[in-house]
Amino acid sequence: MRAPTVRRPQATAGVLVVLALVLGQWLHQQLPERADASRPFEEPVAVGGTASLRSGDVEVLSVDGAPSVARKNGPVLLSPGLFVAVEFTFTPRGESSSLRYGELRDNSGRVLPFFGSSGRSSIDCVGRLVDRPTRCLAVVEADPASLAGAGLAVAPSDIDERWDSMAVVDLGIDADDVTEWSARKQFLDLPQAGVMTRTEAP
Amino acid sequence: MTGAEDNRLRRWVLRLSRTLTLRQALSAVAALVVLASGLFGGLATARTSGPTELVAGEQVHAEPFDVTVERARWLTDLGLEGETPRGRYISVVATIKNTSDHPVYRSEIRDTMRLHGLDGVFRRESGKETGPSEAATPRVLVVADASELASAAPGLEYEVVFLWEQAEYMPVPEDATVAVAARTWRQSTLDDQYLWFDPTVTHAGSIAIEKAKEES
């Protein structure tokens, strides 16, 4: 005589699937979906300080500005406003990585993103060697009236900066700096970005 | 509504249906609808379609820029190092000021201006494909330093030259229509990013194209 088929395990599996769906739906409703939930993890840093990001360390070396700038062997760029040049080092951690995204946070609360390693506003920061500081440069063109009290944020991805860490640099610019930079007649010679040697490394 | 009011309304509708024809009743309803639409702007003067007249030397606003088209010139040599002309250059000198709170990037800057009415214009920065000027994307150079304007910062005014190239076998143009387009800052329906979208020609006008003075 054949034993009757036991249906209970199948029924239990069905109930568990339904419960899992219910749980998933509940979790989906509970987890925050607002933009601020996916905002980058901001690491504040001032000139001379170091910010520790997920992908490496950022040390801010200097901030300077002028109405005209020139890269090594490059043309002189003239601005109707001001160029601000921020020199910093980036030391990749664990694997090679770069910083490809920059945004000026001006004194009106505006966020002005820039990317790309050439042009009037640019970020040049390719970290090829792990644990070796790379000399980096961010240049941003801006309205002089927006600069006193402005900050600069740099992050690894120029496509999507969400969820990742981001260094937020207090540029320490005041009205006197803006006046002094605006009066400059000579173009600002921009430092060259690239891998630093051990002796150059701070 | 009480029963007495209901009866009164029914008698009124019945009397109206006896005194008015169907056509009269429909006309009356249509008139009421038109009058009611006036409450919501239905009777306001309709906007004229098409772009506003663009005049050289006069500032217009095409979001996000204040644009002043100064002049148009044609020339055969820009005097720039490494530049190999494919034909004659047609340039429109203008000042543009980003009046918004957001940067404007290369492709949006280039799309701000188009030439209408010319043929044999190279469609892109490189390549040999020519066609009507409406489909040709200009380069935009900053007059002060001859660099490309790849981003326009908020609050800054740039003197720029919009630059097209036209095949030499085409006759030298005497004029062209310059069309200026505005954009809207809105969220993308695809990835939720805020960007400049929906280019729409808001201003257009005919500009004389004169020969530029070239250094010998």
* β-sheet bridge partners, residue A49: none
Q: Tell me the two tokens of residue A201.
A: 């490394």
Is A175 domain-assigned? yes
Does the structure show a pLDDT above 60 at B66? yes
Q: Where are the domains of chain B?
A: 3-40, 52-211
Give the CA radius of gyration of chain B.
Answer: 28
B1-48 pLDDT, tens per residue?
Answer: 567 778 888 888 778 777 878 788 888 888 888 888 877 777 777 666
Which DSSP state fits A197?
P
Query: Going along A129-184, which residue ranges are E strands?
Result: 134-142, 151-155, 165-170
- In this prediction, residues A128-148 reach a mean pLDDT of 95
State which amino acid sits at residue B155: G
CB contacts of A116 in chain B (<8 Å) are: 150
- Following CA atoms B185, B189, B190, B195 in sequence, which dihedral angle do they give, to the nearest 10 degrees? 0
The count of domains in chain A is 1
State which amino acid sits at residue B96: I
Is A201 domain-assigned? no
Identify residues of B whose CB sits under 8 angstroms from chain A CBs: 101-103, 142, 144-151, 153-158
Distance from C-alpha of A39 to C-alpha of A160, rounded to nearest angstrom: 10
Distance from C-alpha of B187 to C-alpha of B1, rounded to nearest angstrom: 49
Closest residue, chain A, to B101 (C-alpha): A110
pLDDT of residue B165: 96
Is A142 domain-assigned? yes
Element (H, E) at A126: strand A126-127
Check A119 against B148: CB less than 8 A apart. yes
Domain B52-211 classified CATH 1.10.357? Answer: no
B107-121 pLDDT, tens per residue?
Answer: 999 999 999 999 999
CB contacts of B147 in chain A (<8 Å) are: 75, 77, 120
Distance from C-alpha of A155 to C-alpha of A54, rounded to nearest angstrom: 10
| Residues recorded for chain A | 202
Does the structure show a pLDDT above 60 at A76? yes
State which amino acid sits at residue B37: S
Q: How many Å lie between the alpha carbon of A20 and the closest alpha carbon of chain B?
A: 29
Closest residue, chain B, to A103 (C-alpha): B103
Place of tokens 């004229």: B48
Q: Tell me the two tokens of residue A167.
A: 């260094």
CB contacts of A68 in chain B (<8 Å) are: 145
pLDDT of residue B216: 53
Check A143 against B102: CB less than 8 A apart. no
Check B154 against A110: CB less than 8 A apart. yes
Element (H, E) at A46: strand A41-46
Distance from C-alpha of A95 to C-alpha of A54, rounded to nearest angstrom: 11
For A113, A143, B175, the CA distances from A82, given in Å and listed in that order, are 16, 6, 37
pLDDT of residue A2: 61
CATH of residue A149's domain is 2.60.40.1240
pLDDT of residue A73: 85
CB contacts of B149 in chain A (<8 Å) are: 120
Instruction: Return the minimum-mean-pLDDT range out of A51-65, B6-20, B65-79.
Output: B6-20
B157-211 pLDDT, tens per residue?
Answer: 999 999 999 999 999 999 999 999 999 999 998 877 899 999 999 999 999 999 9
| CB atoms inside a 10 Å sphere around CB A36 | 6
Place of tokens 């996916």: A38
| Domain span including residue A94 | 41-195
B36-55 pLDDT, tens per residue?
Answer: 887 777 777 766 678 999 99
Element (H, E) at A21: helix A8-30
- Omega of the bond prior to A156 within 30 degrees of 0, cis? no
Q: Tell me the two tokens of residue B194.
A: 């805020």
Distance from C-alpha of A98 to C-alpha of B177, rounded to nearest angstrom: 46
